[in-house]
Amino acid sequence: MNMKRDYYEDINLFHSKTVIFWFAVLILFLVLYPFLFKNYYIYVANYIAINIIVATGLNILVGYTGLISLGHAGFFCLGAYGTVILMVKAHIPFLIALPLSSLFAGLFGFLIGLPALRLEGPYLSIATLAFGLTITQVVGKLDFFGGREGLHTSKLLIGNLHIDSDRDFYCLLIPITIIMIFIARNIVRTRVGRAFIAIRDAEIAAETIGVNVMLYKTLAFAISAFYTGVAGGLYAFVLRFIEPQLFSQMMSIMFLAMVVVGGIGSTFGSIAGAILLTLLDLELRNILSIPYLGKFLESLSKNFFSITGVSNIQFIVFGFIIIFIMLFEPLGMFGIWIRIKKYWKTWPF
């Protein structure tokens, strides 16, 4: 289905005119979105956009380079705290503070990439997990970072524009997200991206034909951490308040789940995964207000479970989604999409 007939087709950004058409429709929709929907849905869109940036970045690491990270909440935390502290304490404008703190997160990504050169499988997962936990614990316990009380963000000024409401922030966030996605797509289509894929598919073979494994593995970590740092810096301004408890281990797991559910090794897959899981996350937080199902779950909880823990149903739903995806469609939502496309292309056969 996704057969490439020559090299230029392989590196094309858009595969056909249909794709360009649908992309234009999408852009139009995104432009009209703030005029069509209420405030809450704009907040939801911002939330989704941030998770899309993280999922795209993590996909470069997990999907294309084949490494595992369970510590991306650490980079996310670095980006968020870095941006807020640079703005509040050093009075650096947002558009400089955000790249600076993201570069800082990228530097940390490079550092964790160094031990990752020799590690694999469970060893790598525990090392990244330890790293993520360490960052959040250290940040949570130093008074410089606001300690347990957290930090409030300062006013977000770009030039003379004061970005205040969710709607204003949407106009800033969506272009950044689209640019980040394009950069990710481009990284994957260049020499660097092909080196990543070569390392994922056969590390020793890649080394033999001259791919600098050390460089590209650390680079993958750095790029992925940079993406997560950008997302973290923006996340601080969606909530306008950050505290260390936000960046829990569950967050790293959710990021990984987004990439896996969407489809390992496909940018559009990870976008789809981020949208699905973020929506589910936000909807399932108040599960009892869902029509019909909420009533049923309420009576079920009262009879067999406890009503206080009803919000934990979201963990059960996520767990089942993850396991079903891994057991029946290892390529995730992207795999399902490919299968549907194949079915209709060759219908009625």
Partner 1 sequence: MFDFVQMLVSGIASGSAYALMGLAMVIIYKTSKIPNFAQGEMALAPSFFAYMLIDSYHLPFYIACILTFGFSVFLGCMIEIIVLRKAQKSNVLGMIIITIGLEMILLGFVSWKFGAEPKSMPFPISPYDSIPMKDLIKGTDLIIGTLELFTFTIALILMIIIFLFFKFTKFGIAMKATQQNQVIARAMGINTRRIQMMTWAISSFVGCIAGLLVSSITLHPYMMWDPMLKGFSAAVLGGMASLPGSIIGAYIIGILESLFGGYISIEFKSVVSLMIIVVVLCIKPSGLFARHYIKKV
Q: How far is the CB of 286 from partner 1 (least distance, A)?
A: 15
Stretch of 92-100, 101-109, 236-244, 298-306 contacting partner 1, by CB under 8 A: 298-306
The residues near 49 (Cβ < 8 Å, ≥ 6 apart) are 173, 174, 177, 234
Instruction: Tell me the Cα Rg of the chain.
Output: 21
Nearer to partner 1, 234 or 259 (CB): 259
Examine residue 326 and tell whether it contacts partner 1 (CB under 8 A). Answer: yes
Nearer to partner 1, 122 or 210 (CB): 122
How many chain residues are in contact with partner 1, going by CB under 8 A? 54
Tell me if 159 contacts partner 1 by CB under 8 A. no
Question: What x-and-dash track marks residues 70-89 binding partner 1 by CB under 8 A?
Answer: x-------------------
137 near partner 1, judged by CB under 8 A: yes
* Rounded (10°) CA dihedral 133, 250, 214, 178: -120
Give the separation between CA 105 and CA 133, rounded to whole angstroms. 15
Closest by Cα among 129, 126, 118 to 213 = 118
Closest by Cα among 94, 67, 55, 92 to 231: 55
Pick the binder of partner 1 from 23, 29, 182, 315 (CB under 8 A). Answer: 315
Tell me if 323 contacts partner 1 by CB under 8 A. yes
In terms of phi and psi (left: phi > 0; alpha: psi -120 to 50; beta: otherwise), the region of 91 is left
Of residues 123, 182, 296, 343, which one binds partner 1 by CB under 8 A? 123
Q: Which residues inside 200-229 make contact with partner 1, applying CB under 8 A?
A: 202, 204-205
Give dist(CA 290, CA 20) in Å, integer: 37
Stretch that binds partner 1, among 20-28, 76-84, 112-120, 288-296 (CB under 8 A): 112-120
Which residue number, 95 or 316, has a Cβ lying nearer to partner 1?
316
DSSP β-ladder status, 151-152 and 241-242: antiparallel
Full DSSP string of 184-219? HHHHHHSHHHHHHHHHHH-HHHHHHTT--HHHHHHH
Residue 149 near partner 1 by CB under 8 A: no
| Residue selected from 173, 199, 234, 310 as contacting partner 1 according to rule CB under 8 A | 310
Distance CA 169, CA 111 (A): 32
In terms of DSSP H, where are the helices of the chain? Answer: 7-11, 17-36, 39-59, 72-89, 94-116, 121-141, 166-189, 191-201, 203-208, 213-239, 249-262, 267-285, 293-303, 313-328, 332-345
Q: Does 327 bind partner 1 (CB under 8 A)?
A: yes
Out of 44, 279, 322, 336, which residue is the one contacting partner 1 (CB under 8 A)?
322
HSE-CB at 185 with a 13 A cutoff on CA atoms is 16
Q: Is 290 in the site for partner 1 (CB under 8 A)?
A: no
Pick between residue 9 and residue 201 the one whose CB is nearest to partner 1. 201
Minimum CB–partner distance for residue 65 and partner 1 (Å): 11
Q: Which residues contact 159 (CB under 8 A, 6 or more apart)?
A: none
Q: Give the residue with the Cβ less far from partner 1, 238 or 297.
A: 297
Q: How far is the CB of 209 from partner 1 (least distance, A)?
A: 12
Q: Which residues bind partner 1 (CB under 8 A)?
A: 62, 66, 68, 70, 114-115, 118-123, 125-127, 129-131, 133-134, 137-138, 141, 202, 204-205, 249, 253, 256-257, 260, 264, 301, 304-306, 308-310, 312-323, 326-327, 330
